Copies of this chain bind each other. A is one copy, B any other.
Amino acid sequence: MEFSSKLLERAVNEMSQLPGIGKRTALRLVLYMLRQPKEQTLALSEALQSMRNEVKFCKSCHNISDVELCEICSNPKRNETIICVVEDVRDVMAIENTSSFRGLYHVLGGKISPMDGIGPHDLNIESLVHKVKAGHVSELIFALSSTMEGDTTNFYIYKQIKDCNITTSTIARGISVGDELEYADEITLGRSITNRIPFESSIKL
């Protein structure tokens, strides 16, 4: 791609470093900015810079936060003995949206994935094990994605805390609400039968 301006070329190149944004999309976005008022581009670039420079990670759960201890961890109404282990900040947001969990979180920052060069020491696992061993935790809920990497990560953590005499659980796998059985995959359908729940408890929900 030949550019008539070095400034344009640099902006397109930087923009296309982002995942899922190729050169053509980057060019479309950058040309759109040129048609909008200068203030919009200024606001975007300032927001990105101050976010990148000033954002903190909660020292307890590693969630993104503006202060040292995030809002969830510092909320006295939440049950600090139950910890939900998630991969990512987005998973905290997704679970918070359901309003069905009143404990705390622990954000690992990814999952163990040797193929991508991510080992246990690249994740926030040590601080979790430390928290459990300190004895303040009664239950650990594993809420990682149901993939080979997620299962590996769950098991790696489980091995390290299994002697700590706490409850460990994992979120239920089964047919999504509203889904039809004939389109469900075999493994999910099989698990949903093996792990069936009393009918009375399903109608309470």
Contacts and interface: CB of A to CB of B under 8 A. Distances in A.
What secondary structure prevails in chain A residues at the interface with B? helix
A53 interface: yes
Contacts of A8: 51, 55, 64
Contacts of A197: none
How many subunits of this chain does the assembly comprise?
A: 2
A183 interface: no
A84 B187 CA distance: 60
Contact of A93 (B2, B13, B96): B2
Given A4-B70, A71-B4, A93-B1, A15 B44 contact: yes
Interface in A128-155: none
A3 B93 contact: yes
A42 interface: yes
A7 B54 CA distance: 8
A52 B33 contact: yes
A124 interface: no
Contacts of A72: 4
Nearest to A30: B51
Contact of A48 (B21, B31, B45, B93): B45
Contacts of A38: 52-53
Interface string A13-30: 111011111000101111
A49 interface: yes
B71 A48 contact: no
A43 interface: yes
A32 B31 CA distance: 23
